[in-house]
Amino acid sequence: MSPSSTSIPSKSTPLSKVALLGFGTVGSSVARILVERHNSRLKLTHIYNRNVARKKVDWLPSEVVWTENIDDVLASDADIIVEVMGGLQPTEDWVRRALGSGKSVVTANKQLIAHCGVDLIALAQQNRQQIEFGASVAGGVPVISGVHEGLAGDELFKICGILNGTCNYILSQIEANGVPFATALREAQKLGFAEADPTDDIDGLDARAKITILARVGLHCNVAASSIVAKTISPIDNIDFEYANQLGYTIRQISMAELKDGVLYASVGPALVELNSPLARVEGSQNLVMATGVYGGETVFGGHGAGGHPTAVAVVSDILAIARAKRSADGTAAQPAGTAAQPAEEAQDVSSDFTTKHYLRFVVRDRPGIIASLATILDRHHINIDSVLQKPGHPKSHLPFLITLEDYKTSLVEQALQQINALDFMVQPCLHMPIL
């Protein structure tokens, strides 16, 4: 019988007891799957949450223990602790205590794994337990297990994708409806795609945590999230989509990690992608990850990256993986998704200095000689202009136009832009994006 068989287990199969930390959107969906799923040897025993009197529901079995005291959970006989609360503290302390007390852990907490994952994996190994985090990247898309297990026979050297549904929804709205960034953001907040404070999403911090995890699991690189450059999507305007479309591109927030000559090139930010790329066809709040290997070429993972039910499916899948390992014939714990991919202790060198084509959108107070002034500065840095585009109909006091550049290192272009942004005709800093 295969490990994934749904046949009714024998009565001798040990029961795995599950405790849940957090009963919000994801936590309540996890609980519902656990109690409604048939032929499972999983039992939900404890739920920790603040103000449990307001959280209690009548569809859970009466024997489930609700508590506001974390010690009730950590001292219980639960085998698996599921953490879906988010944040770094106190969740890190609780996860450490759970692993130290002989309990395995499932978490959807991307920041926790991005910042503390290496240490937590080591702690799990020391205590012969597991920590699974398949829901921490792309929600319901099984990219962690797919990259680590499904592509284990390949030698991956590049992972890129759309890892933040909020940003993708906002950019899709600007593109489809021609609305300003602020309008698209308000719509995303109204529909629940964006938080009241969307900083982590639009400034790339959420996606940066996710690409950090993927670089560790898929490329075996020990990366500090803070070492990866993240740029905001907030300057993107409808005019940028018009220019991009003229060039045969669209704009998406792209997270990228590429291992080349011993250096990890990684970044998060808005970029131009070709209209025929799978990345260009990702709309709304969906996620997509492209993993490229030496032997297997490009593999694409896509689907719903957020939401209670898709994320809960990934969490429950991790719970089942741990339960199967605990039922293995030799009684030893199988290695979780992150453990076998644990990188060396030495940190990986990280650079954002990609060599690529470049998109430069300027907004200026129009006057003669502007292009000549820009060309002079670019020439000093030995940078060639590839094309110049200007759409008519804009006021002279706030005139947008586009310059594209040939392939150059990002650092070289940014050096030139430091001088350009200081010119007196510049209304705002130049918007600089890579053309992938």
Active site residues: 210
Q: How many CA atoms lie within 13 A of 169 on its CB side?
A: 24
Phi, psi of 290, rounded to the nearest 5 degrees: -115, 120
Helix (H) or strand (E) holding 82: strand 80-83
The tokens describing 78, both together, are 């639960």
CB atoms within 10 A of CB 217: 27
**Counting Cβ atoms within 10 Å, is residue 5 exposed (0-12), middle (13-18) or buried (19+)?**
exposed
Q: Compute the distance between CA of residue 307 and CA of residue 310 in angstroms, rounded to an integer.
A: 6
Given its phi and psi angles, is residue 330 left (phi above 0), alpha (psi -120 to 50 degrees) or beta? Answer: alpha
CA nearest 169: which of 197, 189, 188, 196? 188
Question: Are the CB atoms for 285 and 2 separated by under 8 Å?
Answer: no
Q: Is 230 helix (H, G, I), strand (E, B) or coil?
A: strand
Q: Compute the distance between CA of residue 204 and CA of residue 47 in angstroms, rounded to an integer.
A: 32
Partnered with residue 212 across adjacent β-strands are: none
Asked if residue 180 has a cis previous peptide bond (ω within 30° of 0), the answer is no
